[in-house]
Structure 1
């Protein structure tokens, strides 16, 4: 078992100030395969001081210098892509093919996207005689989750590097190995000392200290809405910018003119992808009441085709959930759904047959759900789908929007204009029509308790910039 007792601070690996260790558990076996030291306040202070000390110089680097640094980091990432996939698979349980194709690949994609935006971004423009310029927001604190570790690290670090910010990263203590590997890439790429710093730690310790720290100008957090509230409260006294990408309970409306034979299996696969551990998963499937039973049969068939197994085993399409805590929460919510009268279509409590060890969950579908049931209101963050019948298009829209969340929504229709019209009425930051996938150039983020701010592309880039107006500047001598 490898012991990771150092943090990356000021361009080098330094010993942690304390000795509190935390095991890193392989969710497929329930056994530790590594351990990390948890940061204390002295480690947070040291990392923030390094970032603060590096900020003035890095903020004044040229576009060309930052392009070259991002190109170098992208090259290092490419070299170790497969190693990154292996780390992610072991630390959070993603099937190895998913880890290669999506999990590790997402990190590279976000770095490339930050580079693409940087190449052409216009930092300066004019309003009348005033120069409007965009400058780096400052020292950033990043608190990232375990479910898509490189996706969330890279979509913060990439644009921060591109805009001239410095940063301190605290990855999830549940899945920290990928972040350690990423930090090695940063070092090999020659990112200037202090620009990027990484500490390990838990939320109540390092995360809160980072959000509260007076020398942090912006905190960007991805995780649960509950934890996001705590981050915002910790940050409030210093009036720093707070960017949050939080939970979701995304509706998936199948209209009566949809091709159900293709739409229903796609909906099930999308809900169960990454073992259901995605904030934008379409977990509420809204269907015409007259076709409810037809949908149930199609959904059951799709769910029972999911191959749950060890992440590195051939043919596995769904691995374990990440931890004992997550496993128990999912089991509790499955039990509540049964007690509240939802019809269990397939799956249910316990592990799949033949998997007695590991945090494996049965792919589970409930039918005859109404939007007042717990299973339709709370984010399960596991492979659990709720099928909700509706009687009219208006009722479907009302049910879809009847949630405290507003991250994503999905609409499937044989009439594209009809789908477009309904999309306008969704109270969500993202709407997918007829199975359209995500695009890393397009803003990712939500309404309501799903957070604030946007990640990805130019919108994510601009979240790391402040806007300055210089009155009386004049238009001469300013490059775009």
Structure 2
């Protein structure tokens, strides 16, 4: 896709409306223009170590499956702790040279990588769609171009690592700041946006001069390996980017605990994030955590109701709701509540659920049948506890029963302290609850242990400013929900973690600061010496 198309995906000022991610008023029939997209990229070997794609060395088979239809996409063997050792050793060996590579050269190589990935975009989108069970239009219009835009951004950012200006702060010395790479980064990325998350982990790390060992989810490793392989083709040295694929309990744990890993970066659940932080703390490693979310969607009584309803459908159903920033809790001021519920239900009923390689499909499958069953069980428990299912509330039927599909679901009548309101569902499920005054609405929005993202819908600049200031989240959208942009940070408050992805803020997190203090004059005697020792001929302390 062209750069302008990429920009339009990420920048709301030039983008199509967010609701267009999920077109409304379609029948549930397959598009006449549907053509099966088959990737031509080699997907054999899901490890990439020291510049070479290879198979793992554990005793456990690795099978990558399209969750929308059960088709096998790739087969390999899981990595072993020995593979982790080899990958970390390759990263350590590459670090000395890569960390001394000039920012201009690192930038040049990343620009080349962006061009290389652009040329692979159709194949990457097909594979990203297939391994994740996501609609091809989302993979081709958001995941892949958004990641390529990130590569281009960090290619520029590599040459813009700022430090404090050199100056004579003491009067007798010149102080300056060096911003240096940390070393070998051990990163663990999730399955919901595998290509994007590979980019979010790899790009700031290597742009700052670090080397990396990435462990993608064993469910969706294919495009992460292709990312690393493309980087090698354009000249990024062997060992700078390594990928090991296996279970978190074995490969992930070995990576986090590895003595030669200097920093750990993890994106995933808050529960696992705590384990990662605890392990890393024992070795005093830098930790970068981007964790769960339970985003509130706050609709005031002066909001544009149609815009809010469309935003709620798109914001809750993107990637089948498997998004830590997805709209999950819609708090609607009572005057609009009934109309909002009615319109959202109507819009959800028009969503096309179907084959993920069909360009007409709006909603794909969940990542696995096990995860679909988990989502279904949460909805069933909510229903048993008194919540009402307005629409959806069941797995896919007919042909869709072959895959891990779950219907777009709207719930009402749930209690604020119920599981469905408090905990991550990570599926196409939205809960709507009413509120009265502004104070109550803001309090309900903040009534969560999470703080990753939120949105407020209002026609009042004063309400918008208050919501932006008082909602405890790393990102607050006003009259929109979901758009991201390479220049701005992504990360949360509270149990959602404190690290930032994207933007120069994330680049800084992969660096460490060094203060260099140089004497301004060659005299052997410094005034402060007299506070410690008096040397004959120097005179009394001053």
Same fold (TM over 0.5): yes
Aligned counterpart for 1:156 among listed residues 187, 191, 201: 201
Seen in structure 2, the aligned counterparts of structure 1 residues 434 and 474 have a Cα distance that, compared at 3 Å, is farther
Matched, 1:179 2:219: no
Q: Which residue of 2 aligns with 1:111?
A: 151
C-alpha distance in structure 1 between counterparts of 2:198 and 2:73, whole Å? 22
C-alpha distance in structure 1 between counterparts of 2:475 and 2:199, whole Å? 20
Matched, 1:456 2:496: no
Residues 197-231 of structure 1: CA deviation (Å, up to 9, x unaligned) = 11111100111110111111111111111221221
Aligned counterpart for 1:285 among listed residues 308, 313, 330: 330
Q: Which residue of 1 aligns with 2:512?
A: 466
Aligned counterpart for 2:310 among listed residues 265, 270, 273: 265
Seen in structure 2, the aligned counterparts of structure 1 residues 292 and 150 have a Cα distance that, compared at 3 Å, is same
Q: Which residue of 1 aligns with 2:493?
A: 447
Q: Which residue of 1 aligns with 2:467?
A: 422
Please report how far the alpha carbon of residue 34 of structure 1 lies from its aligned counterpart in structure 2 after TM superposition. Answer: 1.7
C-alpha distance in structure 2 between counterparts of 1:380 and 1:90, whole Å? 22
Residues 328-381 of structure 1: CA deviation (Å, up to 9, x unaligned) = 110111111101111111001232455221001010000123321111001000
The number of residues matched between the two structures is 475
Seen in structure 2, the aligned counterparts of structure 1 residues 406 and 361 have a Cα distance that, compared at 3 Å, is same
C-alpha distance in structure 2 between counterparts of 1:93 and 1:15, whole Å? 24
Seen in structure 2, the aligned counterparts of structure 1 residues 473 and 136 have a Cα distance that, compared at 3 Å, is farther
Q: Which residue of 2 aligns with 1:47?
A: 87
Residues 91-114 of structure 1: CA deviation (Å, up to 9, x unaligned) = 001111111001111211211111
Report the more deviating stretch, 26-35 or 268-277.
26-35
Please report how far the alpha carbon of residue 6 of structure 1 lies from its aligned counterpart in structure 2 after TM superposition. Answer: 5.7
C-alpha distance in structure 2 between counterparts of 1:58 and 1:164, whole Å? 6
Q: Which residue of 1 aligns with 2:243?
A: 198
Q: Superposition pairs for residues 1-400 of structure 1, below 5 Å?
A: 4-5=44-45, 7-123=47-163, 125-126=165-166, 128=169, 129-352=174-397, 354-400=399-445
TM-score (norm 2): 0.85
C-alpha distance in structure 1 between counterparts of 2:470 and 2:212, whole Å? 38
**Maintained 8 Å contact 1:74/1:108:** yes
Please report how far the alpha carbon of residue 3 of structure 1 lies from its aligned counterpart in structure 2 after TM superposition. Answer: 7.5
C-alpha distance in structure 1 between counterparts of 2:359 and 2:215, whole Å? 33
Question: What secondary structure does 1:236 align onto?
Answer: helix
C-alpha distance in structure 2 between counterparts of 1:58 and 1:248, whole Å? 35
Q: What do you get for the CA RMSD once the two structures are aligned?
A: 1.8
Please report how far the alpha carbon of residue 118 of structure 1 lies from its aligned counterpart in structure 2 after TM superposition. Answer: 2.0
**Maintained 8 Å contact 1:130/1:474:** no
C-alpha distance in structure 1 between counterparts of 2:215 and 2:399, whole Å? 37
**Maintained 8 Å contact 2:390/2:410:** yes
C-alpha distance in structure 2 between counterparts of 1:213 and 1:246, whole Å? 22
Question: What secondary structure does 1:427 align onto?
Answer: coil
Question: What secondary structure does 1:452 align onto?
Answer: coil
Residues 373-406 of structure 1: CA deviation (Å, up to 9, x unaligned) = 1110010000000001111110111111010100
Q: Which residue of 1 aligns with 2:530?
A: none
Report the more deviating stretch, 293-302 or 225-234.
225-234
Question: What secondary structure does 1:471 align onto?
Answer: strand
Please report how far the alpha carbon of residue 173 of structure 1 lies from its aligned counterpart in structure 2 after TM superposition. Answer: 0.4
C-alpha distance in structure 1 between counterparts of 2:82 and 2:178, whole Å? 36
C-alpha distance in structure 2 between counterparts of 1:32 and 1:264, whole Å? 38
Question: What secondary structure does 1:125 align onto?
Answer: coil
Unaligned runs of 5+ in 1: 476-480
C-alpha distance in structure 1 between counterparts of 2:366 and 2:58, whole Å? 30
**Maintained 8 Å contact 2:48/2:242:** yes
**Maintained 8 Å contact 2:91/2:184:** yes
C-alpha distance in structure 2 between counterparts of 1:28 and 1:93, whole Å? 5
Please report how far the alpha carbon of residue 13 of structure 1 lies from its aligned counterpart in structure 2 after TM superposition. Answer: 2.9
Seen in structure 2, the aligned counterparts of structure 1 residues 463 and 94 have a Cα distance that, compared at 3 Å, is same
Please report how far the alpha carbon of residue 117 of structure 1 lies from its aligned counterpart in structure 2 after TM superposition. Answer: 1.6
Q: Which residue of 2 aligns with 1:478?
A: none
Please report how far the alpha carbon of residue 16 of structure 1 lies from its aligned counterpart in structure 2 after TM superposition. Answer: 2.9
**Maintained 8 Å contact 1:412/1:435:** yes
Q: Which residue of 1 aligns with 2:29?
A: none
**Maintained 8 Å contact 2:299/2:330:** yes
C-alpha distance in structure 2 between counterparts of 1:328 and 1:230, whole Å? 25
The runs of 4+ residues in structure 1 deviating greater than 3 Å are 1-6
Rg larger for: 2
Report the more deviating stretch, 349-358 or 294-303.
349-358
Please report how far the alpha carbon of residue 18 of structure 1 lies from its aligned counterpart in structure 2 after TM superposition. Answer: 2.7
Q: Which residue of 1 aligns with 2:19?
A: none
Please report how far the alpha carbon of residue 122 of structure 1 lies from its aligned counterpart in structure 2 after TM superposition. Answer: 2.5
